[in-house]
Structure 1
Amino acid sequence: MPGHENGHASGMPPRRLTRDELAILESRPKTKFQKFLDYVVCFLPVVAGGVALWEYNCLPDLQGNTHGNDYNWFILVLMGLVLIGFLASFCGRRAFRWMRYKAPFYTFVFLALAGYDWLTLKTGGLPLPYFPWLDQMLEAAIADWGYLMDCAKNSLILLFTGYFIGVGAGLVTGIACGYNRNVNYWIEPFTRLLGAIPSTTWLPVVMVLAATLFRGSVFIIALGVWYSVTIATKTGITNIDPAYFEAARTLGVKGMRLVGTIAVPSALPNILQGMTQGMSTACVALMVAEMIGVESGLGWYITWQKSWARYGNMYAAVVAICVIFVLVNTLLGAIRHYMLRWQER
């Protein structure tokens, strides 16, 4: 019956299309040759990985330079992951679209690795010891793996301690300032003052006054996070339509219940954005605090290795920092996407 095929005819509301379904409907149909080219692009990272292996193993090293097999295994693992993605692109439209979107960048990464190796190991265009080739970095990371992981653990402990303290304090002050004008009268001058001055500026003073270097570093990290979350939360609450509060009051919601039922849920996008910005601020403050104050962590490790001119170890720690920060921000992005999934419906 027609009434069972169409939502309108049966009295049921029509199903809303997902973002992926809309993208499929809006995309123009492609010819067989265009589809073939898309799969060629998806396979290009594997080809670029092969170029990187050829450059590393077939081109002669600069006189005096030597290399091992760690870099070969590194490239082969990356190529294996990309090949898995390429094969998955045949299994579903969503996997194909993802691989087609990422393939040009992955190709660039392999070519960039080959270019850097050529400038260091093969030609010496980038001078030693300041620019070690990639195999040296991998060897240094493997040799000092245990200590690197211990420093990474200490960095994460310091980072998340300061971050969660800053988020908690920022939520309290942001909600209070956004919901109560009297509180905002006293807090706003401090937020304007502290917002204009980077939190790391207070590092010399805090390190003198703090009981321990760890507590001083936590305070510096928390201060930057506090400002970002406070401003974002306050902005989100002040921009809420007053009609929402009036409607809630007519339904019997009063006092602090308005905060939990109206203010915080409505300001959630702003709050999550402030938490993301706060993490970026926390990462910068973490590196500065570790390079100046604390006695362990990846920032401290970088300074220590640089003082001994062990640049392979130093760059290994830099790569570890980049990977950690990318993973942390990816996790925050996933949490934000999950909590705001109602915006995409």
Structure 2
Amino acid sequence: MLKNVLSILGFAIAFLINILVPQVAEGVKIKSYAIGPFNIDDNEGYRLVLLGLIAYYVGTAIYHRVKKSSRFKVKKFEEGAYFRFAAGIVLGVWDLLGTKFLVLPQPFFPGPAIIADAFLSDGAFIWSNTLYSLRLFLSGFVIGVIVGVATGVLIGWYPKFRYWVSPILSVSGVIPAVAWMPFALTFFPTSFTAATFLIAVCSWFPVATMTADGVQSTPKAQFELAKTFGASQFYQIFHVAVPHAMPQIFTGIMTAAAFSFTTLVMAEMMGQPGGLGYYINTSKVWSAYNKVFAAIIVMAILFSLILGVTKVIQNYVLRYKKGIVR
């Protein structure tokens, strides 16, 4: 019970700080925006975020109690209570130093209410750039994963293919994807397809490497057993080797997701007509660092969602290994 209270206490303190502490520093413009029938200013937008976090953690705690979740899930939720409390306190202190008293150097470290202004004033533009980033990421990532799995299976199964392709994989894997940018812009007709290629390349390497390791590490006894029952080579590959390699494949996919997202942002900063990286670049030019912080927050949320979806798919595919693979 105490940990459930701690989960929301920090955010509640930050909420009270924003309401009760007056604006001491001059020169801070708190803007107001008409959103539907409501007028919401920057402070109110920030408070709504805090209330949303409080509601989410209260709802999660109630859900676990009503549904009588497993002890593991409850413990996992409660273990984050101290961090959530600290995060709320940090937001409260940040509000004081970045907005109320304006102690932090400006405009580089705006307070949370000023960052909320970016979402209120530029929400539609942030959303369109987020969708652009997601589309670009998925285009390159999906291609990279598919080609990576296919390459890994071929390397792991066929010695001749391993002989010719493994050196190429080893050499290209250590080269940062953005180093291929000049060539990609030359060979591909648009900056979008060039960036898709770069993301696919940096996804391909970890997935191919881990898939190959997984296929090669399949116990020979499993193949012998399959042969005993008359299994064809195709069956041995896709019903024995690939299922055995699945944990390694998903490890490669998780690693590829991180590399791909980094490449995505760098590619958007180097010539894309949209995306969160592009949004950061344009905001930085105008010293709108509250918008830079807003884009970083969206990136963190987006990448967390991507990893979360990948984890859900992994848990479903590897459901037969529940309790073995974490």
Structure-1 separation of matches of 2:74 and 2:224? 49
Q: Are residues 1:153 and 2:109 paired? A: no
Structure-1 separation of matches of 2:7 and 2:103? 25
Amino acid across the alignment from 1:121: T
Structure-1 separation of matches of 2:247 and 2:74? 30
Q: Are residues 1:69 and 2:47 paired? A: no
CA deviations on 1:254-304 (whole Å, 9 max, x unpaired) are 222211111111111111111111111110110010000211111111101
Q: Are residues 1:308 and 2:286 paired? A: yes
Structure-1 separation of matches of 2:57 and 2:174? 44
Deviation of 1:96 (Å): 4.0
CA deviations on 1:109-153 (whole Å, 9 max, x unpaired) are 211211211221123232111111111111211221111111111
Q: Are residues 1:133 and 2:131 paired? A: no
Amino acid across the alignment from 1:323: I
State which structure, 1 or 2, has the greater radius of gyration over its C-alpha atoms: 1
Is contact 2:9–2:88 with CA below 8 Å preserved after alignment?
no
Q: Look up the match of 2:206.
A: 228
Work out which of the residue numbers 22, 46, 49 in structure 2 matches 1:60: 22
- State which drifts further: 273-282 or 206-215: 206-215
Q: Look up the match of 2:305.
A: 327
Q: Are residues 1:336 and 2:314 paired? A: yes
Work out which of the residue numbers 142, 156, 174 in structure 2 matches 1:196: 174
Structure-1 separation of matches of 2:233 and 2:65? 56
Work out which of the residue numbers 98, 101, 108 in structure 2 matches 1:120: 98
Structure-2 separation of matches of 1:88 and 1:257? 44
Amino acid across the alignment from 1:334: V
Structure-1 separation of matches of 2:250 and 2:60? 31
Pick closer, same or farther for the CA change 1:166–1:99 going to 2, 3 Å.
closer
Structure-2 separation of matches of 1:287 and 1:93? 38
Secondary structure of the structure 2 residue equivalent to 1:295 = coil
Alignment RMSD (CA, Å):
1.6
Structure-1 separation of matches of 2:131 and 2:171? 33
Q: Look up the match of 2:82.
A: 104
Deviation of 1:81 (Å): 1.8
Q: Look up the match of 1:317.
A: 295
CA deviations on 1:174-225 (whole Å, 9 max, x unpaired) are 1001000000000011011011111122112222332111111011000011
Is contact 2:211–2:245 with CA below 8 Å preserved after alignment?
yes
Q: Look up the match of 2:39.
A: none
Q: Look up the match of 1:18.
A: none
Is contact 2:177–2:201 with CA below 8 Å preserved after alignment?
yes
Structure-2 separation of matches of 1:98 and 1:244? 37
The normalised TM-score by structure 1 is 0.85
Pick closer, same or farther for the CA change 1:88–1:171 going to 2, 3 Å.
closer
Pick closer, same or farther for the CA change 1:192–1:119 going to 2, 3 Å.
same
Q: Look up the match of 2:53.
A: 78
Q: Which runs of 5+ in 2 are unaligned?
A: 31-42
The normalised TM-score by structure 2 is 0.90
Work out which of the residue numbers 192, 209, 212 in structure 1 matches 2:190: 212
Pick closer, same or farther for the CA change 1:93–1:269 going to 2, 3 Å.
closer
Amino acid across the alignment from 1:80: A
Structure-1 separation of matches of 2:300 and 2:318? 27
Pick closer, same or farther for the CA change 1:99–1:257 going to 2, 3 Å.
closer
- State which drifts further: 100-109 or 262-271: 100-109
CA deviations on 1:54-98 (whole Å, 9 max, x unpaired) are 221222323213543211222122112222233345432536434
Identity of aligned residues (%): 26
Pick closer, same or farther for the CA change 1:308–1:207 going to 2, 3 Å.
same
Q: Look up the match of 2:35.
A: none
Q: Are residues 1:254 and 2:232 paired? A: yes
Structure-1 separation of matches of 2:221 and 2:21? 71
Amino acid across the alignment from 1:204: P
Q: Which runs of 5+ in 1 are unaligned?
A: 1-38
Deviation of 1:341 (Å): 2.1
Q: Look up the match of 1:48.
A: 10
